Structure formats: C-alpha cells, structure tokens
Amino acid sequence: MANIISTIRNIGKIEELRKRLLFTLIALIAVRIGAFITIPGVDVEMLKAAGGSLGDSKTIFGLYDMFVGGAFSNAAIFALGIMPYISASIILQIAGVVLPELQKLQRSGEDGRRKINQYTRLLTVPIAALQAWGVAVKVAGTTVGNGGASVVPDAGMLWILGSIFIMTSGTIALMWIGEQITDRGLGNGISLIIFIGIIARFPTAVSQEIQLIQAGSRNLVVDLVMVVFLAGIIAAVILVTQGARRIPVQYAKRQVGRKVYGGTTQYIPLRVNTAGVMPIIFAQSILFVPATIASFFPDSTFWQGVANTFSERNFVYAATYGLMILFFTYFYTAIAFNPKEVADNMKKNGGFIPGVRPGTATSEYIENILTRITLPGAIFLALVAILPTFAMKVLKVPPVFASFFGGTSLLIIVGVALDTLQQVESHLLMRHYDGFMKTGKIRGRAGALS
C-alpha cells in the first residue's frame, strides 16, 4: 500500500505524465457526455418510458449497449460507439490472411502499419453508416404502451438520413478522440473508450446491490463473500492474461567492422490467451442472433421456441457457447500468431532455438507448443464466459453486477488496465522512479481486443 501511495506521488512529480493523464481524463469525460446527448427528434420522455427496451440484454443489442456504455439505449449521438472501427480492424486483420497485398503491408514495418490504419479509417465510414441505418430503424420502430406510440414522433426519411449522418459522425469523432488519447494521453485510446463505457455501469451495479441489502433481500455477509469471490476471479484473469510460455532463442555471433553482434539469448513469449477477448465476442454475437430475430417476430411460435432453446437457462446454450469459444480461440490464435513467419524472421536474423533446426522444424516446434498452451487458455475463457450466468442463477446477483464476474466485461477491463499501468510504469522507470511494482515487470496487452 505504501508503495502504491509513493508511486501516485511520483506521478505528480512528472510534468509530462501529469499532462498526459489530464488529457486522457478530459477526453474520456467528453466521450461519456456524448453518450447522453440524444439524437434530435427523439422524445426523451417516451424513451425513458420504453424502459431500456432498445438495449435488451437478451439480444445482440444488449451486447452492443454494454460496449458503448449505455449510449445505444439512450439513442445518443455516440450510439454506435467505436465498434464500427473495431469491426473494420477485424475485417482487415482476417483479410490479411488471404490477400497477399495486405500481407505485404503487414510486413512492411511502420509504413505498412500507417497504410493499414488509413484503410481501417476508410472502411469504418461505410460500416458505421450501415449500422447507423439499422439503429435509426430500430429507434424509429420502438413503441411505448398499448397504443404503440413511437419514441420518434416524426420518423420520416429525413429523420432517418439525419440520424445516419449524426451517428456516423459520432463514430468518426470517437475514432479521432481515441487516436488523440494514444498520441497525447495514456494507454490505447480505442481500448480506453470501450473500457470507460463498460466501467461506467459499475456505480449502477453497486447501487443496485446496496438497495437489495437495504430492502433485506440480500445478506451483508453473502455480499462480502461475493466480493472475495470477485477478487479471486480478477486475480485468476490477470494470471492467465499475463501467463506466457517463454521459448529461448539463441542468436549467433557476427562481426560488423569492429563490433560484434549477437551471441545473446532472447525469448519468444507465447501467451496462454493469445486470442484475448475475441472468442467470447464472436460466440456471444452468434448466440444472440436467435433472440434478436425473435424480438422482431414476437408472434412467431417457431422463433420464440428457437430463442428459448438458446436462452441462458438452457443446457444447449451453455454447451454450444463453450464449444464455440474453444473453436474461436484456436481460430483467432491462428490468425493473430503465425509460427512460420516467426521462424522465417529468426532464420533471417541468425536466430535459432537450441536443439531445433531452423526453418520448418522451428515453425512446427512453435506451433506444437502454441497448440498445447492454447487449450487451457480456451477452457479458461469458456469458464470465464459462463461465470456471469452462474452469478445470476446461483448467487442471485442482478444482471448488471453479474457482468463484472466474468465474460467480455472483465477481460476487457483487466486487459486495458494492465496496458495503461504498463505505460505509466514505463514513464516512471525512465525517470528512475519506482513503479507500481518495484521490479517494473507489469506486462500490458497491446489493446483490449488483442
């Protein structure tokens, strides 16, 4: 505790760090303000009367609303959040596996990275416009009461087009804010925008728990046990997020002029959870499709039956969810990490794994290790994914608070927090101050969704 207090004091002593921290806070406050500014033409009172039906937690809209911090259910100008940019980034990342031109750009260093970033920005605009059209239609179709009064009194084509323009512009503004945070603030800006949207729900979750205790529906001792349980889950997630198998790589000595290079041993860290949070997002998005379609056809017996089959209370849902997470973990790991490319780069730089021949043998060796360590990581992800359901059904925790017991929310929070702490740690160690850990070995993720 004394070390943490000392570190916070040290942060105040570094002017650049203070400025970066202040800039980040102001930018994130602007993001949260935008999540409460309703699109022009929406009746705010009618929207409140709708009772948050826009962000129904049982549909894919609820998942979306979680990422944008309630902006979707508020029909706000930032209703789309930064998700179109994330979608564009994932599309280009997957396309890089099959398109030689993108593969070449990915290997072109800084210039290639800048071009891919530019392509991502350009692709974000049509994706945002398409999603904005869907959101505008959804908002216009939201009604209140038996009379069916719409939350948009005049939902004509002009309002639809205006809403598309406003929400698309909101996504572009968030994209710019995220890049500014990355350049002038602390942490990965895009990840922090998602992070602040998720963490903004925490005060509401705590408030609901306090109300249950005051009403006598919850025992204080039980809540303390749940807090300890939650702390244990967070510790386990941090352990797996940081966990890696280090493969030693020896570099041969070579002389260039009078200087001798190489002769050192470095390590390739193969993470237990290389895929990050993506498998859970993919699996959740697919399993929410039946309930989402059923919400559009409330009178259809068939779709309501399908939705009940894939509801969180059904064993079919849990089994399918776990198997899909296992599949997507291996799938996304194969996309994010290429053993052949690593082996080729090692061979070009005169590196080799002791006892393993360079080239194909090295690639197969790395792939075998990656396959073995990915399995426990995938099983852990599946367990983390179903923990919120366990908390709701067994511990009777309210849905908002239960989301912090695992799943997408917890993984993103931990990943972004570690990444931001790592940047703070780097600034402190550069100026010879002790960081949050005296060894200075906090390892952050490359982003929340990496």
Task: Report pTM.
Answer: 0.81
Residues 6+ positions from 90 with CB-CB distance below 8 Å: 278, 449
Location of structure tokens 């202040």? 22
Give yes or no for a contact between 237 and 381, defined as CB atoms under 8 angstroms apart.
no
What is the sign of the dihedral through the CA atoms of 287, 289, 295 and 300?
A: negative
Residues 6+ positions from 208 with CB-CB distance below 8 Å: 398, 400, 401
Distance of CA 179 to the CA centre of its chain: 16
Q: How far apart are CA 440 and CA 450, in angstroms?
A: 22
Give yes or no for a contact between 179 and 83, defined as CB atoms under 8 angstroms apart.
no
Grouped pLDDT means (10 residues each) for the chain, 450 residues: 62 80 93 92 81 63 79 88 88 82 79 88 92 86 72 87 94 94 88 89 83 77 83 89 87 66 76 84 79 73 79 75 88 85 84 86 91 91 84 78 81 86 78 55 50
Right CATH for 1-200 from 1.10.3370.10, 3.50.50.60, 1.10.1270.20, 3.40.50.300: 1.10.3370.10
Q: How far apart are CA 405 and CA 200, in angstroms?
A: 15
248 DSSP 8-state letter = E
Q: Environment class of residue 234 by beta-carbon count within 10 Å: exposed (0-12), middle (13-18) or buried (19+)?
A: middle
In DSSP notation, 284-309 reads HHHHTHHHHHHHH-TT-HHHHHHHHH
Q: How far apart are CA 347 and CA 363, in angstroms?
A: 11
Q: How far apart are CA 66 and CA 407, in angstroms?
A: 12
